Amino acid sequence: MAAAARKAARGLIRDFGEVEQLQVSVKGPGDFVSAADIKAEKLLRAELGKARPGYGFLMEESGSEAGSDRHHRWIVDPLDGTTNFLHGVPHFAISIGLERDGEIIAGVIYEPVRDEMFWAEKGAGAFHNDRRLRVSARRHLAEALIGTGIPFLGRGDHARYLATLNAVMAATSGVRRLGVASLDLAYVAAGRFEGFWEFGLKPWDIAAGILIVREAGGYISDPSGGQGMLASGDVIAANDHLHPALVLLLKKALQEPSAN
């Protein structure tokens, strides 16, 4: 998984250099970025398929593909943070999760600009390159830095989201929106964020991050506290001390009249 991510990343880095030049053109880099995304996905499909020929795939661009092995499936986002990439912002990632019978058992999130590889295997811990990861030890929301994803034009329930943002702003030391959900989850695992929440994500945005957070000692759930994240796309992640408080804060915000 790591080797496939690094191989695809080389192409993305070359293409990102082109995007930075295209950004000043009248046409802009939109078509070029779409091609970069598809090219990275094809490379990942080939590399992962070579390593495990029977496994199925769920990929952002090409959708679902069953394999002869009905127990295993790769869940792949070849370019998480496409909008950042499109605008020449150097913050994006490749995310690869491996699912066995509906459970994520391995995950890789690779950020090529800074050469940061976040990875985990079920029961074996989570790592940043070769260093073991642990979530932050902070115990109070007032000290916490929380990541989020903000809905945009044509996407998401803006009123519902704003209710939660108001609540988290009032209770924490800061909120950050970096635009790459997979890396936000990796940052929770690394202790850079104490928590993260977002609504309406896709399975390929979060599959690897779910396991990496858990293996780093964190908690991740949907807003009800359940484990329906891959189906709903609604995610709350935090360290073990703050997860219950963050779930309660968001649940109360979603019950306010302004959220409905």
Residues 197-219 pLDDT 10s: 999 999 999 999 999 999 999 99
The whole-chain average pLDDT of the chain stands at: 93
Closest CA to 6 of 124, 129, 101, 106: 129
Taken in order of first residue, the domains within the chain and their CATH numbers are: 2-132 (3.30.540.10), 141-259 (3.40.190.80)
Strand-pair category, 131-132 with 116-121: unpaired
Instruction: In whole angstroms, give the CA distance from residue 205 to residue 174.
Output: 23
For residues 193-218, one letter each, b for 16 or more C-beta atoms within 10 angstroms of the residue's C-beta and e for the rest, the string is bbbbbbbbbebbbbbbbbbbbbbbbb
Instruction: In whole angstroms, give the CA distance from residue 132 to residue 115.
Output: 16
Q: Among the listed ranges 28-37, 213-222, 231-240, 249-258, which one has the minimum average pLDDT value? A: 28-37
Instruction: In whole angstroms, give the CA distance from residue 102 to residue 16.
Output: 34
- Global pTM reads 0.94
- Banded pLDDT at 115 (limits 50, 70, 90): very high
pLDDT at 196 over 80: yes
pLDDT at 129 over 60: yes
CB 142 within 8 A of CB 172: yes
What is the reported pLDDT for 18? 85
CB 41 within 8 A of CB 78: yes
- What are the E-state strand segments in the chain? 56-59, 63-65, 72-80, 93-100, 103-111, 116-121, 125-128, 131-132, 145-148, 174-176, 195-198, 219-221, 235-238
Tens of pLDDT along 181-195?
A: 999 999 999 999 999
pLDDT at 25 over 90: no
Instruction: In whole angstroms, give the CA distance from residue 165 to residue 149.
Output: 10
Instruction: In whole angstroms, give the CA distance from residue 225 to residue 97.
Output: 22
pLDDT at 56 over 80: yes
Instruction: In whole angstroms, give the CA distance from residue 174 to residue 80.
Output: 23
Tens of pLDDT along 76-113?
A: 999 999 989 988 899 999 999 999 999 999 999 999 99
The two structure tokens encoding residue 14: 């070359």
Q: Which helix (H) or strand (E) holds 224?
A: none
What is the reported pLDDT for 86? 86
What is the reported pLDDT for 258? 66
The two structure tokens encoding residue 247: 């779930």
Distance of alpha carbon 100 from its chain centroid, rounded? 19
* Mean predicted confidence (pLDDT) in 243-252: 96
- Banded pLDDT at 59 (limits 50, 70, 90): very high
Instruction: In whole angstroms, give the CA distance from residue 5 to residue 172.
Output: 35
